[in-house]
Amino acid sequence: MLTSVQNVLGDETRGLPHLEMKPKMPFKRNILCIGAGYVGGPTMAMIAFKCPQYKVTVVDINPERIAQWNSDNLPIYEPGLDEVVKAARGRNLFFSTEIEKGIQDSDVIFVSVNTPTKTFGAGAGMAADLQYWDKTAREIRKYSQSNKIIVEKSTLPVKTAQAMERILTCGDNGVCFDVLSNPEFLAEGTAIQDLENPDRVLIGSSQTPEGFLARDVLVEIYANWIPRDKIITSNIWSSELSKLVANAFLAQRISSVNAISALCEKADADIQEVTRAVGMDSRVGSKFLNASVGFGGSCFKKDILNLVYICRYYDLKEVADYWEGVVKINDYQKERFILNMLQVMFNTLAGKKICLFGFAFKADTGDTRESPAIRIAKRLMEEKADLVITDPKAINNAKDDLEGEPGNVSYVEDPYEAAAGCCAIALMTEWSHYKRLDYEKIFQTMVKPAFIFDGRNILDHHGLHKIGFNVFPIGKPPLTHY
């Protein structure tokens, strides 16, 4: 039987009679991606942009999302994405809801569906919910009429490829599948630059001749624009696990810094001075050492909890507890932020108008999934504060996140208008334009005493203090007027 790779290789399989009879395709490859989300959309747009010789189709079960991808108003905000999509869409990049046709026409299928934390049954709150993944595997099996390479793009528990292979190969239609792991390391807000110039691309394959051939097909796709030495290969389980571990290490760095920020506040040290000193050790490195109100985003928490769940499954209690600590410190940091606000604002927030500067989980995205601002907003509402939320890109998502929450909340696009009449500003997202606002003007319109809680340490704290604000950074002594 032919492997999926022989089907996909085209020219390289000349001499194999059944493949030579394949109808001539206008494109060198037909690539499909199932899942048109934050990963599937930008990743496929980049492949199409860089490789006009391939036809790239992105399908999704959500027709609204697909309609947005086909419009001038893309479903996600990501700097540089519009230009990349516009250059390739209609040429060799297509967005569609026709999943069955997409599967039939393709020879390489990326699967980039969501893999959230399970909310029910065994492993609830910890394990990955693989229902979307499982459903996709069954659809691929059902509609495939020719051999295919399946690429795991979603972040998955280690050994998922095995489950995928079992689902795919239980049919009797003679179709062959090779499953590869190719986790995505892009960060939101910098997705386009990460995709264009990644630190590395990781491809895991089974260590068999067929596995290596399938791997080489994927290597060839990326090699169109990524230097060969940045495309690394491994066995499939290492690849799946590397993704979880990469996110766990990154999140661990933030929790480490945030834990020390609590100590700095007690010891009159300055977290930015400490991280500068520590980060200049080339073994540590200076990136990803910014103390904050806590990390957010759809993946850090879910991927660590998934890692913890897997460790517990293998009876590695100490290892599981160690990594769970990263999530616990993150929760502690958010709670610490709220309790500090409550305490310094004279132990009551009831009826006080508080403005949140930013709601996205980080700058340059409209994404609010697991944003620390959600927890902060809910806790402030529990304390009966009146909230005003401003954000350049995330107001609609903020409205969805807080829908039905008891309490007063309003949404105002202009930060000057949002802060007027408030007694405190809590900066949640490090949007750079918040650094450049006229805080003199803002101070004049606020209720006194006026407070600023800088949850990202991006503002000029001494300057704000001079204006008259009581300033509370993270991991630094506060600057007050009382």
**Per-residue contact track with ligand UGA, 172 to 191, x per CB under 6 A?**
------------xxxxx---
Q: Is 112 in the site for ligand NAD (CB under 6 A)?
A: yes
Task: Say how many residues touch ligand NAD, by CB under 6 A.
Answer: 27
Q: Is 330 in the site for ligand UGA (CB under 6 A)?
A: no
Q: Is 366 exposed, middle or buried (0-12, 13-18, 19+ CB in 10 A)?
A: buried
Decide if 355 is catalytic: no
Q: To the nearest whole angstrom, how small is the minimum distance from the Cβ of residue 60 to ligand NAD?
A: 4
Binder of residue 40, out of ligand UGA, ligand NAD, none (CB less than 5 to 8 A by kind): ligand NAD
Q: Is 135 in the site for ligand NAD (CB under 6 A)?
A: yes
Nearest to 472 by CA among 286, 261, 196, 168: 261
CA 160 from chain centre, in angstroms, equals 20
Task: Give me the catalytic one of 33, 176, 264, 299.
Answer: 299
Nearest residue (CB) to ligand NAD, 76 versus 464: 76
In whole angstroms, what is the distance from residue 294 CA to residue 300 CA? 11
Q: To the nearest whole angstrom, how small is the minimum distance from the Cβ of residue 16 to ligand NAD?
A: 32
Q: To the nearest whole angstrom, how small is the minimum distance from the Cβ of residue 254 to ligand NAD?
A: 16
Nearest residue (CB) to ligand UGA, 117 versus 247: 247
* Cα radius of gyration (the chain): 25
Q: Is 373 in the site for ligand UGA (CB under 6 A)?
A: no
Q: Is 186 in the site for ligand NAD (CB under 6 A)?
A: yes
Q: Is 156 in the site for ligand UGA (CB under 6 A)?
A: no
- Only one of the segments 129-137, 252-260, 400-408, 463-471 lies at the binding site for ligand NAD (rule: CB under 6 A); that segment is 129-137
Residues pairing with 390 in the sheet: 357
Of 280-299, binders to ligand UGA (CB under 6 A) are 288-290, 292, 295-297, 299
Nearest residue (CB) to ligand UGA, 155 versus 239: 155
Binding region for ligand UGA (CB under 6 A): 155, 184-188, 247, 250, 254, 288-290, 292, 295-297, 299-300, 361-362
Catalytic residue positions, numbered: 299
